[in-house]
């Protein structure tokens, strides 16, 4: 991303996203190590390496029922961390914003639309993530999206508005254990959707936790050993500012563990 010509609001948005990304630490949330700003104004983020996004994986048609259940449980675990621990609503959850690493673990990425929320605020403030997660599950199971856009102009969504549960039964058989929960997650009124905490206590999700909850998620990283050594050798003054210049270059860097002010 090029930051030249950015106004104060755009720059604050970038710093907010950087702050989100650097502070998040969960096996199913992408780990961001640094934000690097080059002399020409281009900003790069250095993060874990993931081979594919979930959209590509679904399109390949190689997911087994076991894979779907495991990846979906990892998705719910990541969202539970975002909502209940970080108090962050992602607000742009979709197949393209979910990646799979070389060990087959799901990682939530792209916090450009995210926002923090008051834990005491009404649950509907993060109900959009619950809705999107249900749509993702239907896409993983069927290989297709139930509708292109959730607007009455979309014929498939118009059918859903008219028939609700019967449409879900078409995509997800009634005898599927996930069927009742997915129907709740896709309630039109956000206030009627379960919270992530309620999702995690659902009998079906609890069964997924029994099967996959104790598996360790291993991660890989694009950061080279040289880069990690360079981070470890950051001076105390650099740690306090949060933005520093690499030796022999004019590159400004923000890295995890360093303070990042959004007041610029």
132-146 pLDDT, tens digit each = 999 999 999 999 999
Q: What are phi and psi of 89, to 5 degrees?
A: -95, 125
- Please check whether residues 142 and 205 belong to one and the same domain: yes
CA 137 to chain centre: 14
- Please check whether residues 171 and 250 belong to one and the same domain: no
> Mean pLDDT over all residues of the chain?
80
**Torsion sign (Cα): 134, 138, 144, 146:** negative
- Please check whether residues 230 and 165 belong to one and the same domain: no
- Please check whether residues 248 and 203 belong to one and the same domain: no
Q: Residue 36 falls within a domain, yes or no?
A: yes
- Please check whether residues 129 and 22 belong to one and the same domain: no
- Please check whether residues 15 and 76 belong to one and the same domain: no
Q: Residue 262 falls within a domain, yes or no?
A: no
- Please check whether residues 33 and 112 belong to one and the same domain: no
Please report the pLDDT score of residue 215 as a whole number: 56
Q: Of 122-131, 173-182, 220-229, give the lowest mean pLDDT range.
A: 220-229
What are the catalytic residues? 92
Coil, strand or helix at 213: coil
Which stretches within 24-164 are classed as H helix? Answer: 54-60, 65-81, 127-142, 155-163
- Please check whether residues 190 and 248 belong to one and the same domain: no
CATH number at residue 80: 1.10.510.10
What total number of domains does the chain contain? 2
Confidence of residue 21 (pLDDT cuts 50, 70, 90): confident
Q: Residue 260 falls within a domain, yes or no?
A: no
Q: Residue 1 falls within a domain, yes or no?
A: no
For the cut 60, the answer to whether the pLDDT of residue 77 exceeds it is: yes
Distance CA 34, CA 59 (A): 31
- Please check whether residues 196 and 167 belong to one and the same domain: yes
- Please check whether residues 44 and 93 belong to one and the same domain: no
Distance CA 195, CA 226 (A): 43
Q: Residue 242 falls within a domain, yes or no?
A: yes
**Torsion sign (Cα): 95, 98, 104, 105:** negative
- Give the residue from 27, 31, 117, 116 showing the smallest Cα distance to 74: 27
Q: Residue 261 falls within a domain, yes or no?
A: no
* pTM score of the predicted model: 0.79
Please report the pLDDT score of residue 147 as a whole number: 94
For residue 78, the enclosing domain spans: 52-212
Which of residues 189 and 45 earns the better pLDDT score? Answer: 189
Residue 137 tokens, joined: 């599950």
Q: Of 16-25, 72-81, 147-156, give the lowest mean pLDDT range.
A: 16-25
Coil, strand or helix at 255: strand
For the cut 90, the answer to whether the pLDDT of residue 81 exceeds it is: yes
Contacts with 257 (C-beta within 8 Å, 6 or more apart), sequence order: 22, 239
Q: Residue 2 falls within a domain, yes or no?
A: no
CB-CB neighbours of 31 under 10 Å: 19
- Please check whether residues 121 and 107 belong to one and the same domain: yes
Distance CA 211, CA 50 (A): 24
- Please check whether residues 194 and 156 belong to one and the same domain: yes
Q: Residue 263 falls within a domain, yes or no?
A: no
Distance CA 21, CA 146 (A): 30
Which of residues 41 and 52 earns the better pLDDT score? Answer: 52
Distance CA 103, CA 19 (A): 27
């Amino acid at each position: 991303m090029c930051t030249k010509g950015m106004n104060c609001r755009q720059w604050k948005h970038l710093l907010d996203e950087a702050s989100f990304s650097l502070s998040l630490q969960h096996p199913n949330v992408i780990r961001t190590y640094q934000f690097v700003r080059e002399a020409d104004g281009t900003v790069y983020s250095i993060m874990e390496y993931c081979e594919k996004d979930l959209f590509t994986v679904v399109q390949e048609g190689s997911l087994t029922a076991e894979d779907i259940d495991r990846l979906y449980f990892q998705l719910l675990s990541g969202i539970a961390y975002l909502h209940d621990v970080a108090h962050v609503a992602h607000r742009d959850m979709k197949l393209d914003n979910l990646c799979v690493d070389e060990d087959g673990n799901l990682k939530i990425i792209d916090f450009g639309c995210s926002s923090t929320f008051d834990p005491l605020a009404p649950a509907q403030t993060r109900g959009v993530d619950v809705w999107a997660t249900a749509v993702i599950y239907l896409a993983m199971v069927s290989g297709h999206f139930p509708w292109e856009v959730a607007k009455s102009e979309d014929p498939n969504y118009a059918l859903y508005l008219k028939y609700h549960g019967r449409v879900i039964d078409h995509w997800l058989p009634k005898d599927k254990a996930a069927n009742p929960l997915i129907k709740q997650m896709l309630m039109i009124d956000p206030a009627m959707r379960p919270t992530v905490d309620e999702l995690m206590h659902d009998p079906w999700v609890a069964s997924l936790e029994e099967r996959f909850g104790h598996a360790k998620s291993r991660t890989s990283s694009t950061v080279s050993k040289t880069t990690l050594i360079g981070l470890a050798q950051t001076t105390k003054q650099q740690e306090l500012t949060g933005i520093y210049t690499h030796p022999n270059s004019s590159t400004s860097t923000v890295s995890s563990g360093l303070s990042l002010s959004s007041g610029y």
